[in-house]
C-alpha cells in the first residue's frame, strides 16, 4: 500500500524512515517487474542514503530473471557504484531464490571480481560467505570443488572458500542425520 502510493505519487515521504527498508523489500518481494523497475529507477536518481536502502531491497525479488539482470547491471559502474557491485552479489546470494543465481553469476564472472576486488579481503570474503552460506547438498559441494579446481588462486578469498567447503560438508552431514527425523516430526505436528 505504501509502496503503491509512492509509485502513484512519486513521493515516498509518507513512508516512515525506520520502515523504508522493510516496505521496499516486501513490495519488491511480493510484487513483480513493475515494482522492481520503479525501485530501480528510483535507485538510479537517488542520493547515497536512499541508494543504501534501495540496493538490498532490489535483491528481494523472487524473479530469477530480474535477479540475473540486477547482477549484470551491477558490473556497470555507470549504474551501480563500483564499490557496491560486490554487495549486489551478496544481497542476491542471501535471497533463498537468488542463491543459485548468485553462485552461477560469481562463477561466470570470477575474473571480474578477482581483478577488481581481490585487494579488498573483507569484500571478497563477504561475497563468498553470503553466496555459499545456504549450501547443503552434494551438488553444491561438487560445484564448489569444481570451481576451486578451475581457480586454484582465490587470492584474499582463499580462507572463505576453505570455510565454505567445510560448512557445506557439515550442512550435508546435518541433513543426512536430521532431515528425515525433522520432516517426520513436523508431519506429526500438523
pLDDT in tens, 91-112: 999 999 999 999 999 999 999 9
| Radius of gyration of the chain, Cα coordinates, nearest whole angstrom | 19
Distances (CA, A) of 58 to 2, 61, 144, 156, 187: 16, 7, 26, 28, 35
Averaged pLDDT, 184-190:
90
Rounded to whole angstroms, how far apart are CA atoms 101 and 104? 5
Per-residue pLDDT at 90: 97
Question: Of 146, 52, 56, nearest to 103 (Cα)?
Answer: 146
Query: Residue 47: which pLDDT band, with cuts at 50, 70 and 90?
Result: very high
Per-residue pLDDT at 131: 97
pTM of the model: 0.90
Averaged pLDDT, 114-139:
93
Distances (CA, A) of 125 to 10, 25, 89, 108, 181: 38, 25, 12, 18, 34
Per-residue pLDDT at 166: 98
Task: Say whether pLDDT at 71 is over 90.
Answer: yes
Residue intervals in the chain for CATH 1.25.50.20: 63-190
**With respect to CATH, is domain 63-190 assigned 3.40.50.2000?**
no
Rounded to whole angstroms, how far apart are CA atoms 127 and 117? 10
More confident residue, 122 or 22: 22
Helices (H), the chain: 2-9, 20-30, 33-45, 48-58, 64-74, 85-94, 99-108, 110-117, 121-132, 138-150, 158-189
Question: Of 63, 60, 59, 62, nearest to 73 (Cα)?
Answer: 59
Per-residue pLDDT at 27: 94
Record the cell numbers describing residue 106, joined without a space. Answer: 560469481
Query: Residue 177: which pLDDT band, with cuts at 50, 70 and 90?
Result: very high
pLDDT tens for each residue of 128-145:
999 999 999 999 999 999
Per-residue pLDDT at 48: 95
Per-residue pLDDT at 7: 72
Which residues make Cβ contacts (< 8 Å) with residue 143, sequence separation at least 6?
103, 107
Question: Of 4, 88, 67, nearest to 38 (Cα)?
Answer: 4
Amino acid at each position: 500500500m505504501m509502496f503503491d502510493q509512492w509509485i502513484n505519487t512519486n513521493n515516498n515521504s509518507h513512508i516512515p524512515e525506520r520502515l523504508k527498508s522493510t516496505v521496499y523489500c516486501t513490495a519488491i518481494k511480493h510484487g513483480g517487474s513493475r515494482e522492481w523497475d520503479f525501485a530501480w529507477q528510483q535507485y538510479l536518481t537517488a542520493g547515497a542514503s536512499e541508494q543504501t536502502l534501495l540496493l538490498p531491497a532490489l535483491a528481494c525479488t523472487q524473479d530469477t530473471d530480474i535477479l540475473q539482470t540486477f547482477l549484470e547491471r551491477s558490473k556497470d559502474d555507470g549504474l551501480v557504484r563500483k564499490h557496491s557491485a560486490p554487495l549486489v552479489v551478496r544481497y542476491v546470494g542471501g535471497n533463498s531464490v537468488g542463491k543459485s543465481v548468485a553462485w552461477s553469476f560469481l562463477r561466470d564472472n570470477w575474473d571480474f571480481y578477482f581483478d577488481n576486488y581481490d585487494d579488498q579481503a573483507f569484500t571478497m570474503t563477504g561475497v563468498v560467505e553470503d553466496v555459499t552460506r545456504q549450501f547443503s547438498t552434494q551438488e553444491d559441494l561438487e560445484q564448489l570443488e569444481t570451481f576451486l579446481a578451475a581457480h586454484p588462486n582465490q587470492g584474499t578469498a582463499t580462507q572463505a572458500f576453505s570455510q565454505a567447503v567445510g560448512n557445506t560438508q557439515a550442512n550435508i552431514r546435518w541433513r543426512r542425520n536430521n532431515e528425515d527425523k525433522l520432516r517426520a516430526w513436523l508431519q506429526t505436528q500438523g
